Amino acid sequence: MRRSVAPRAEAPGLGELRILVPGLGSGGRRFGLWHLRLTEQAPRPMVLAMRVALILLAIVALVGIGTAEALISNDQLAQLPGRGRPALSVGGTALSLAGIALSVAVYAALGVALARAAVREATVLPTGMVVGIGAGLIGGAVRAYLIRDYLGGVLAGFGLGDLLVVTLAVFVALSVAVSVAAGASLTWLGFRGGRRRLRPQPPS
């Protein structure tokens, strides 16, 4: 009497599921071999909604960092007598460096999160650019609004008060350009570093 054998599954490769069911047959041949090829890859941990949430979270964090730095800087500018030129100080330098460091950390964390979500590498640079555009546009507009009075007084002192709007527009455009470049490069570096850490190490 032949003992029944339970079906077993093998995974010969990515995107393919092979099910072998031994059954009755002369000469020990296997009966009933089915191949189920999956048309799609396994579901990714990060769905589109989660990716959008990460982008929005990064933009909010970057705008918050920039706004806090701008508020402190604007307060320092308001204390200058007669719209004088701001002097280089240790406090101002430390504030700028802290803002840069925090912004770099946000972009790097975004890249690591994308790596943990196993997204395609081709989507990392566009994601970083989208974050840079959003943060640069919103953050630049907030900064421009905060410094408009000080900048207007400086321009008026040179007889260029009519160029205030143009100057602020250029300021926002430059903010967007810098944020896009930084967002794309730093997010990609964070992604590469995060994926390298998640890659299984060969046995020693």
pTM exceeds 0.95, yes or no: no
More confident residue, 195 or 77: 195
Over residues 118-177, the pLDDT tens digits come to: 788 888 999 999 999 999 999 999 999 998 988 888 888 888 889 999 999 999 999 999
- Looking at the predicted structure, is the pLDDT value of residue 186 above 60? yes
| Phi/psi of residue 158, nearest 5 degrees | -100, 10
Q: Which two tokens stand for residue 105?
A: 């950390």
Over residues 41-90, the pLDDT tens digits come to: 434 544 577 788 899 999 999 999 999 998 988 887 777 665 555 656 67
Q: 3-state secondary structure string, the chain? A: CCCCCCCEEEEEECCEEEEECCCCCHHHCCCCEEEEECCCCCCCCCCHHHHHHHHHHHHHHHHHHHHHHHHHHHHHHHCCHHHCCCCCCHHHHHHHHHHHHHHHHHHHHHHHHHHHCCCCHHHHHHHHHHHHHHHHHHHHHHHHHHHHHHHHHHHHHCCCHHHHHHHHHHHHHHHHHHHHHHHHHHHHHHHHHHHHHHCCCCCC
Q: Looking at residue 120, what is its pLDDT?
A: 84
Provide mean pLDDT across the span 176-198: 92
